[in-house]
Amino acid sequence: MSNVKSFQPKTIEDESFSWSCHRTCGTPDVFVLCCPYMVNIYITIGFVLKFLTVSFIFFAQKYSQPKLYPGDIVEFPRNKYVSHFGVYYGERDGVPYVAHLTSRDSDTKLELFGRALKSQVRLDPLDLLGKKYKVSNMLDDSFSPRDFHTIVKSSIDDIMGREMTFDILFHNSEHQATLFRYGVKKSQQIDKIYEHILPAWQKPFNDKKL
């Protein structure tokens, strides 16, 4: 036989109100309310707590700032399609810095075909480039990362401050970041653009040849 007691529903009546649905839990003084209104309240609270928990996890992951190591490629999303890239340089006086290719002057505009003549590799504080970022060592499976302290750091120091041409198709910030880390220039952003626009460009020529 089970030792669980069988509880019988009772009704407590008062001059001004009545509890029409409850049950005793072992002692006459303890009651667990089970009216539909209380059940709905508990369900609502449960859904709210679950929503807040999921929302907190989502935003914590979305805006998390991963741990960086010298030589890591850091990606700063600018919009849905474009990101800015740099290489984590390390800390100076407790401030994390990133080496990145950028316009030498803030008011320099991209000239013909996405080119800016006044560009250079700069070392700027991480927070100055963006609060939202992620590590994008995307080519580690294809290329061996170069040692930061013996190769990458000296490469950054040597080229820093030199005037160079920024070209969105052939030498953008992602090209420069992969050149530092791997010794090769790659831009997955541009590769994706080529995948979409090249078929559109090739079709008229192919049709004309036919």
Residues spanned by the domain of 146: 73-202
Indicate whether 179 belongs to any domain: yes
Q: Give the CATH number for residue 113.
A: 3.90.1720.10
Together in a domain, 58 and 78: no
Between the alpha carbon of residue 108 and those of residues 43, 111, 183, the distances in Å are 58, 9, 28
> Tokens in use for 206?
């192919």
List pLDDT tens digits, range 82-99.
Answer: 899 999 999 999 999 999
Indicate whether 118 belongs to any domain: yes
Indicate whether 68 belongs to any domain: no
Report yes or no on whether pTM surpasses 0.85. no
Together in a domain, 78 and 157: yes
Together in a domain, 182 and 101: yes
List pLDDT tens digits, range 136-170.
Answer: 998 999 999 999 999 999 999 999 989 888 888 88
Indicate whether 208 belongs to any domain: no
Contact of 159 with 171, CB cutoff 8 Å: no
How does 60-77 read in b/e, with b if 16+ C-beta sit within 10 Å? eeeeeeeebebbbbbbbe
Together in a domain, 85 and 183: yes
> Tokens in use for 103?
């316009």
Query: pLDDT value at position 167?
Result: 85
By the 10 Å C-beta count (0-12 exposed, 13-18 middle, 19+ buried), 193 is classed as middle
What's the structural domain count of the chain? 2
